[in-house]
Amino acid sequence: MSRDTPDTAPVLAVENLVTEFRLGDAWHPAVRDLSFTLARNETLALVGESGCGKSITALSIMGLVPKPAGRIASGRILLEGRNLVPLAEAEMERIRGDRVAMIFQEPMTSLNPVLTIGFQVAEALRYHRGLSARAADAEALRLLEEVKIPSARSRYHEYPHQFSGGMRQRVMVAMALACQPSVLLADEPTTALDVTIQAQVLGLLDDLRREHGMAMLFITHNLGVVAAIADRVAVMYAGEIVEVGPAARVFSNPTHPYTEALFSAIPRVDRPAGALAAIPGRVPALNRMPAGCRFAPRCPLAEARCRAADPALVPVSGAGDHAVRCHVRAPAPEALVPAGA
């Protein structure tokens, strides 16, 4: 797909975000010192295994971290220059669905089964835009047609159970775009769909992103999806970004061992059937994070220094827009200075 050049001014900036959850008598970070920016008309893909903190990042941005078990301990989330972290719930309710919107993972549980599709799409327009019932219904119908719901007018008063999975996901897209948000968070929006419907939804999201000029944070574990839709890629592991850069560069030169392992685990038609490489071990639990690099226990390149200190996220040599968190592949500048110098 062709993508327009994004406006480089960030519409969303996450700075040193720490989101914690209480386990027993202690707080443990699920997202640790996370920073990234998102420009207008840009798609940033946040990728990694389940349990790496991708969805928690989106929930933090939306102000939906479940309390009292969870909290944003520190950091800033700047939406069009405004810090969302200290805002009261009443103010966040005015921002959610208006300036920032989210498509959740499972459309069947995200849609209210006892309300019609049309009512649910029109609701945001009535709340955020103050439209009359008639005007909201007309705009909601237009949105359903924009996301290519077949026979939208006749299906406007139907219920979620009368729609297929792909059609329900299109309804979720219509709801998210109703108020033309500056930022769209798409959390695994194609996970439950077959590959044909998945491709249609991806194409729809990319077309709408370009038409509306919004920024999109696309959360997925599927690197094949990333290749189709992303301008930049941020690879996340155990609550930290371990590699970030332009999609073309990360795909052609994956540098962090975890990124390489993710690519190796992708099934390919040009390999023998038994060539699929699994990543040994699993993402550590919040209360059992290893010292040093969090990927070290699973990494084939791990050295003693990897277990002693957490590496910094530093630029890859010769590529200022491509950064990696790895002692071996991208040592921090101070690590390159000879001892006693």
Listed by start position, the domains of the chain span 7-99+181-274, 114-179
**What CATH number matches the domain at 7-99+181-274, 3.40.640.10, 3.40.50.300, 3.90.1720.10, 3.40.50.720?**
3.40.50.300
The reported pLDDT for the residue numbered 292 is: 94
Helix 165-177 and helix 133-146, axial crossing angle in degrees, nearest 10: 130
* Single-letter amino acid code for the residue at 187: D
**pLDDT, tens digit (0-9, with 9 covering 90-100), for 1-35:** 445 556 667 999 999 999 999 998 999 999 999 99
The H or E element that residue 324 is part of is strand 319-324
Q: CB–CB of 239/32 below 8 Å?
A: yes
Q: CB–CB of 156/174 below 8 Å?
A: no
Which of 284, 208, 218 shows the shortest CA–CA distance to 4? 208
Q: Which segments in the chain show pLDDT lower than 50?
A: 1-2, 335-341
The reported pLDDT for the residue numbered 211 is: 85
The reported pLDDT for the residue numbered 205 is: 85
**Whole-structure pTM value:** 0.89
Q: Where are the alpha helices (DSSP H) in the chain?
A: 54-62, 89-95, 107-110, 117-129, 133-146, 152-155, 165-177, 195-212, 223-229, 247-252, 257-264, 304-308
The reported pLDDT for the residue numbered 201 is: 81
The reported pLDDT for the residue numbered 15 is: 97
The reported pLDDT for the residue numbered 22 is: 96
**pLDDT, tens digit (0-9, with 9 covering 90-100), for 98-142:** 999 999 877 667 899 999 999 999 999 999 999 999 999 999 999
